[in-house]
Amino acid sequence: MASVSAALAASAAGFQDLFTPSGQCIACHNNIVGPQGQDLSIGYAWRTSMMANSSRDPYWQAGVRREVLDHPQAKAEIEDICATCHMPMARFQAHTEGAKGQVFQHLAGTFADAGVTAHALDGVSCTVCHQVSPGNFGQTSSFDGGFIIDTAKRKGQRQVFGPFSMDAGRQSVMRSATNFTPTESVHIQKSELCATCHTLYTRSLDAKGEPAGVLPEQMPYLEWLQSDFKSTKSCQSCHMPQVAGAAPITSMLAQQRPGVSEHVFVGGNAFMQRILGKYAEALGITTPPAEFTAAAKRTEEHLAAESATVSIAPFTVAGARVTLDVAIASLTGHKLPTAYPSRRAWLHVVVRDAAQNVVFESGALRGNGSIVGNDNDDDPAKAEPHYALIDNPDQVQIYESVMADSAGRVTTSLLSGARYLKDNRLLPRGFDKSAASQDVAVQGGAAQDPDFTGGGDHVRYAIDVGRSAGPWTATVELNYQPIGFRWAENLKTYDAAEPKRFVKYYEDNAAASASLLARAVATSH
């Protein structure tokens, strides 16, 4: 570990010219009290987010190791690409020096190390996002971590952008503390800022390591552009909610400002937040575990309130046949789930008779994180189809993207993924699947399902209740996993520390890997 620090020490001084550790920002941007007495500390809120822990994410580390083992000839390129948005400060600095970004060399260090390693471990930190300028916003060149940061100005001259104006006195204080000058600019509140790292294209490789096409890996921004939300809500509107009333943004020289955005970066990965807290010491994380527990709870509350609703149309009963229609309405401004393809949402439907005996169940979650009846969880070579009608317990409506390699085989390797066999993730309101660009197109059976449209889906369940007696009660849940079973299970074959560690974490916590998005109950008459 010491040798790693020594090897990187030479670049530390130059590195400080471009970025500042989050600790220097937290000093003034913590201990902030809101108008209702709530804690609005920017640093404390940020440090439990996936952005703050982007480099410490054990699943990401396992995934990078897997790709390197699968494609050893491309090791340097893989680490460079994967560091772009997970270790952005270290990678950006490397590129200014004509070098590639690294991953595993930095992971051998600690936050106490100086320069490059400390910044690599600092994740997506304050002086990354707040230094990005809008020169190429919304353009293809901005995607895949193609954000622009001015490297011409040196220490003491560099700017950080925010939505508020600041008087000369406060500017002087911040410049003295951080060597940055706060500068007003509303581009920091635009979705195009987030799109620079959250619009990702993967250059696929075949079994020989040859180029096999380009996979649109993560497209929430382009999905949002084809939704009704593009004219009403930005990414920040949902993921950095504004405080009601005026609030300060610092604990010293405080000034009340309207429209302050909380830096919670609330998303959908409560499962990983709990893992980060539970194994903080092993992962080299210094944030108190209790803060991750609170953050995970906040994430689940957000998912339950802002993701979707489900409803059940009146039952139709004809002899031993019970029919019910389930409607899902998406509330998000992008696909649900969106971005990284390990994510999936699905319907868990249970029908009980008058004596509360289960007469039908589809989509139960096993303790190991797999879904009963899901073809892909049972067989890595298969994929569960999209359904308009479900009449068998072995059929499960799963909203997901499923990749295929250049030979058409199902895969969970990003660098092997050449195209999608299936993409029936729920569409945002206003999304026209018939006019969607190929990068965000619906794939598989959902493309021909007339009930699968912008804003949601309808699924009919036709159930044989046998000789059971009604009235029958149906319970429908829309559940969500940020890391589906197959994505963890496929790491088992890799004899390396990072995959082995994450598989152990997953197996020990899989029973709690899902979050509830929505629930509905109805009884036949």
pLDDT of residue 111: 60
pLDDT of residue 162: 97
Nearest CA among 493, 488, 508 for reference residue 370: 488
Q: Based on C-alpha coordinates, what's the Rg of the chain?
A: 24
The better pLDDT of the pair 16, 313 is held by 313
User: Is residue 2 scored above 80 in pLDDT?
Assistant: no
d(CA 315, CA 351): 11
pLDDT of residue 17: 73
- What pTM value is reported for the model? 0.95
Contacts of 151 (CB under 8 A, 6+ apart): 18, 96
Neighbours of 3 (CB within 10 A): 8
Contact assessment for residue 67 and residue 104, using Cβ atoms and an 8 Å cutoff = no
pLDDT, tens digit, for every residue of 73-123? Answer: 999 999 999 999 999 999 999 999 999 999 999 998 766 666 788 899 999
* Backbone φ/ψ region at 356: left (φ over 0), alpha (ψ -120 to 50), beta: left
Contacts of 69 (CB under 8 A, 6+ apart): 494, 496
Residue in this structure with the two tokens 């992971």, named with its chain if needed: 107
pLDDT band at 272 (very low <50, low <70, confident <90, very high): very high
Sign of CA dihedral 151, 152, 156, 158: negative
513: its two tokens = 């890997």
Cα separations (Å) of 345 from 340, 424, 426, 499, 516?
13, 10, 9, 24, 9
pLDDT, tens digit, for every residue of 27-36? Answer: 899 999 999 9
pLDDT band at 437 (very low <50, low <70, confident <90, very high): very high
d(CA 91, CA 218): 20
